[in-house]
Copies of this chain bind each other. A is one copy, B any other.
Amino acid sequence: MDFSLSDTQQMLRDTAERLVRERYGFEERKRILAGPGGFSRELWATYAELGLLGIEVAEDQGGIGGNFQDLAIVLEAFGRGLVVEPYVPTVVLGAGLVNAAGSDAQKADILPRVVGGEAYLAFAHGEPKSRYTLAHVATSATADGDGFSLTGDKAVVLGGDVADLFIVSARTAGKAGDTDGLSLFLVPKDAAGLTVRGYPTVDGTRAAEVSLRGAKVGRDALLGPEGGAFPLIAQALDRGAAALCAEAVGVMTALNELTLDYLKTRTQFGVPIGSFQVLQHHMADMFIAQEQARSMAILAASRADSADAAARSRAISAAKVQVGKSARFIGQQSVQMHGGIGITEEYVAGHYFKRLTTIDRTFGDVDFHLTRFATLAA
């Protein structure tokens, strides 16, 4: 049992925290959001330079050969800064899937480009009727010559508006809901029959609706085994959830600090509002909620690449439940304690709140994960 950070982790934390402190002030972030694509390609290049895009990638492919816990350290810092670049879609989901399932050729083709900041990826999995259910894939991949033809609709694909390469889940057999018969395909953004409708999400990040109408890919586009992709999908979404847990802890910590500072400096009735016992107790509960979430985010990160899939999913569902509850409580209470200023666009509290809300709605909400946790045996 050891909670201490490795040297690499300590270095990653320092790097990411400094970056956020120096390059991700509230005004700077506003400029980034208002710019083209709503994120900073310049910062993305900096992430590449600092090695942050290749944490899990093997050293021979340009990465640093780290693990998910190393990644989680960076995500927590990014949470503090409300970083908007498509890190989770590209690095956690996209590169993660290629790392887990790619052939040597696929890895050699894709991973160095991700590590170098030259390629953006997105995981096009959810569908208009799938909600959070993993196997509810209706998109079809039918054999077509020596390749496949893909038809279907993908919903709220995170980072989809900027992705150069999509990893698309589609059905080579079976019907929506079956865990068998799922396959993954690499589909470039300019593939014929693929249409991307990009848009901002409520927290300022980006996503897209992706439509496939007979999009043709070669057999070499298959990522992992044909018909056997469900375990890969499950792991990818677990990793996504674990990543958001780490990020959410960063957001909550920053929001709690902000709120605590507000309680100490804002006066009403001639005294700091932090002298009111009711607000003191709420703040104490917010601190507890933050620390409970932190504990579970640590657990989620440590289990994200566990060989035991059921144990992994159970731990990550537990974490997502705790993080979702803590995020909601802290977000709502912080806004309440700030009063009107808490819901204005010009003040950062509301942006933390929106990011926490978004995280709670992504890769399964509290109800979804609570049920999944309950049905997976201990």
Contacts and interface: CB of A to CB of B under 8 A. Distances in A.
A277 interface: yes
A144 B377 CA distance: 51
A281 B281 CA distance: 12
Nearest to A280: B278
A269 interface: no
Nearest to A282: B278
Interface in A249-307: 276-278, 281
Contacts of A276: 277
Contacts of A277: 276-278
Nearest to A281: B278
Contacts of A281: 278
Copies of this protein in the complex: 2
Contacts of A278: 277-278, 281
A365 B53 CA distance: 54
Nearest to A275: B277
Nearest to A279: B277
A119 B278 CA distance: 54
A376 to B, nearest CB: 23
A195 to B, nearest CB: 41
A367 B281 CA distance: 30
A357 B311 CA distance: 38
Interface string A177-196: 00000000000000000000
A277 B277 CA distance: 6
A179 to B, nearest CB: 30
Interface in A210-251: none
A278 B284 CA distance: 13
A278 B278 CA distance: 5
A295 to B, nearest CB: 26
Interface in A149-188: none
Interface in A31-50: none
A271 to B, nearest CB: 12
A92 B231 CA distance: 59
A10 to B, nearest CB: 40
A277 B281 CA distance: 10
A277 B276 CA distance: 7
A285 to B, nearest CB: 11
A167 to B, nearest CB: 40
A85 to B, nearest CB: 42
A276 B281 CA distance: 12
A276 B276 CA distance: 9
Most interface-central of A276, A277, A281 (chain B CB within 10 A)? A277
Nearest to A278: B277
Interface string A82-102: 000000000000000000000
A281 B276 CA distance: 12
A281 B277 CA distance: 10
A148 B278 CA distance: 64
A278 B280 CA distance: 9
| Closest A-B pairs by Cβ, 5 of them | A277-B277, A277-B278, A278-B281, A278-B278, A276-B277
5 contacts: A276-B277, A277-B277, A277-B278, A278-B278, A278-B281
